[in-house]
Amino acid sequence: EQRFIANVLNTTGALVIILDPQWQILRMNRACEQTVRHAFQDLKGQPFWNLLTPSEEDKQGARQVLESYKTGRLPCTFESAILDKARRLRWIQWNTTASYKKNGDVDILL
Instruction: Identify the CA nearest to 53 among candidates 28, 68, 69, 36.
Output: 36
Beta strands in 32-100 (DSSP E): 76-83, 89-96, 98-100
The predicted pLDDT at position 77 comes to 80
Q: How far apart are CA 97 and CA 100, in angstroms?
A: 10
The predicted pLDDT at position 40 comes to 92
The predicted pLDDT at position 33 comes to 92
Domains in the chain: ranges and CATH: 2-100 (3.30.450.20)
The predicted pLDDT at position 39 comes to 92
pLDDT tens digits in sequence order for the chain, 110 residues long: 678 877 887 788 888 999 988 889 999 999 999 999 999 999 999 988 888 776 777 777 777 777 776 666 677 787 888 888 888 888 888 888 888 889 888 888 88
The predicted pLDDT at position 69 comes to 66
